[in-house]
Every structure is written in structure tokens, then in C-alpha cells.
Structure 1
Amino acid sequence: MPKSLEKTRKKIAKKKTNITALHENSRDSQRLRRAANRDDKISRIASARKKNDQPLIERAAYFQEAVRDNGGLPLELDAIRTLIRTFVHQYDEEMSKLKKERRPGRPASTREDVLRIKIASDEKEYRDGFCMSYYYAAGS
């Protein structure tokens, strides 16, 4: 995705110098380092944004699939409420299964912790509303 390093490398290569014979602190090597750091920063920010947006994408896909199953017709209010409850409690079975499989006195598994966090955030969002929770999560 980031192309800053490639562009900088190409620009330096067009000069009459040999790019492999750069001095450690030369201007060209500093330009290459800055470009590499820039690309790294952009990719880290993009991956963080993608990770942050993933729950929203999953939610949208879930409800789009429900509308497609209805033939593209608008859903009734009761059907929408049922879908929302189903979405909020979609991990309950897996959570109870993990609790049953765990021996007494053992700490919760990583998957169980992740599910607990997802369930808690979905229930909080269901209580408080989607708009407000998204508004506060975005940091605005």
C-alpha cells in the first residue's frame, strides 16, 4: 500500500550514484530511512483502523444478510428486534460451551475472555444505543 519508499528509492537511483554504495549518514540514506518510517507508520495506522472497524463491518454484513434472506423487502419492527437480540446473543452458546469444558479452578481461556468482552460490549451497545457508543468509540 505505501509507496513512499519505492518512490524515494527510484528517485535516488536516477541519480548518477550507486544506490548500494550509500554512506550510513548520507542525505540519500536519511531520505530512505525517513521514507521507510513513513511507510511503516501508514501501514500501522491502516491496520489499527481496520481492526477497529471490523466489528462494524461484521454487524453490517449480518443485517444485510438478514435483509437478503427476506427477499430485499423491508423488515417488520418485531423481526428487526428479533434480529438485534439474536445478534447480541450470538456468542452465548459458545461461551457456555467453553465454561462447561473448563475444569473447576482453572483460569478462563483467551477465547473465553474475548467472547466475554464482545458480549459485554454488544449488551452495552444494545442498552445505550448504537449511535452514542460509536460516537464515543471514535473519540469525538
Structure 2
Amino acid sequence: MSHSIYFNLLIHSDKFSVYRAVSEPEHLANWWPLKCTGIPKEGEKYNFNFTDDYDWYAEVKSVKHGEHIHYKMTKSDADWDPTTFGFDLEEKDNGIYLQFFHKDWVESNTNFKHSSFCWAMLLKGLKDYLEKGIIVPFKDRE
């Protein structure tokens, strides 16, 4: 049995701004990792660098410009390596409905629970980044 994290939130922004924020390295680094490289194209590699000890990699498993991007972890830690996470975007009258998932966790252990909490905090940071232009300094992100 695998475990999954799901969050849905409404972001008062346009679809392409939200898509860029979850797919383009220069925007990802404004709300999630310290540094990031990658190209939003299926099969491409992303580097999510948090520290020298947390220098992680993923591959783009599925992408449709302006609609979704899904990443499969390829080099991280034992808990994250089997996982896939992604962002699906749906246009609504008052913004973009972002559906986030992080699935295929082998155990519902401390790392899973901590990651779930962190994703909630980070997605709030993504919302504030897009709606208010707020960039939380990396050292202050959960």
C-alpha cells in the first residue's frame, strides 16, 4: 500500500503565471528550493537544490503547457525516491484551481508526515508569491 499527499487551492492569478511558477526554475526558486535547473519538457531532468546535502533530481514524467506538470523523483532520499509529485491547473471564474499531489510514498512515516506539513506551508508560499508578489527567503521556508 502506498501513501499520498493531496492539496487543492484556488490561486487568484492567471493560468500561465501559475504554470510558470510550478515549472520554470527561476520561479520555483522563489517559493521552494534554494536553486533549481530544468526545462519543462517530458523526459527532461530537474535539479532541486536545497543544500549540499539535499541536492535532489527529478524527471518530468508528464507536461502540458499551461495545464499540468508531473515530476518523478530520481535522486533524493529513500523516502522520496519512489515518489511522483505534480500540479494540475484548472481555470475557474475567480482564478486557477491548483490540484497538487505527491504520491507513491512507501511508508506513512515521520518523513511523509513532515513532507505533508511542508507542502502545505510551501503551497501557501506559492499562493502568496503569485497573488501578492511575496518571496519568503529560503532560510524561512519550511
TM-score of the two chains, using structure 2 as the length reference? 0.29
Q: Tell me: higher relative CO, structure 1 or 2? Use CA pairs within 8 A at least 6 residues apart.
A: 2
The structure where helix makes up a greater share of residues is 1
The structure where strand makes up a greater share of residues is 2
TM-score of the two chains, using structure 1 as the length reference? 0.29
